[in-house]
Amino acid sequence: MAKTTSNQTINTADDLDDDRYAYERALSLMIHHTALLWQTFGSFLLTETVLIGFLGAAIIDKKVSQNGNLIIISGSVIGLIISLLWYSTFRHNSGFYELRWAQLRRIESNLNINLAREGSRFSSGDGIPDENNKILRLPLIAQALPPRRAVPLLIVLFAIVFVLFIVTQLGWI
Whole-angstrom CA distances from 154 to 11, 81, 159, 161 are: 46, 15, 9, 11
Contact 98, 109 (CB under 8 A): no
pTM: predicted TM-score of the whole model, two decimal places: 0.80
Q: Rounded to an integer, what distance in angstroms lies between the CA atom of residue 73 and that of residue 77?
A: 6
Residue 12: the pLDDT is: 66
Cα 52 to the center of its chain, rounded Å: 22
List pLDDT tens digits, range 7-57. 455 566 676 788 888 889 888 988 998 999 999 999 999 999 999 999 999
Q: Rounded to an integer, what distance in angstroms lies between the CA atom of residue 128 and that of residue 15?
A: 30
88: left (phi over 0), alpha (psi -120 to 50) or beta: alpha
Residue 23: the pLDDT is: 86
From the list 119, 89, 94, 97, the residue with the least C-alpha distance to 28 is 97
Q: Rounded to an integer, what distance in angstroms lies between the CA atom of residue 169 and that of residue 173?
A: 8
Query: Which residues in the chain come in under a pLDDT of 70?
Result: 1-13, 15, 63-67
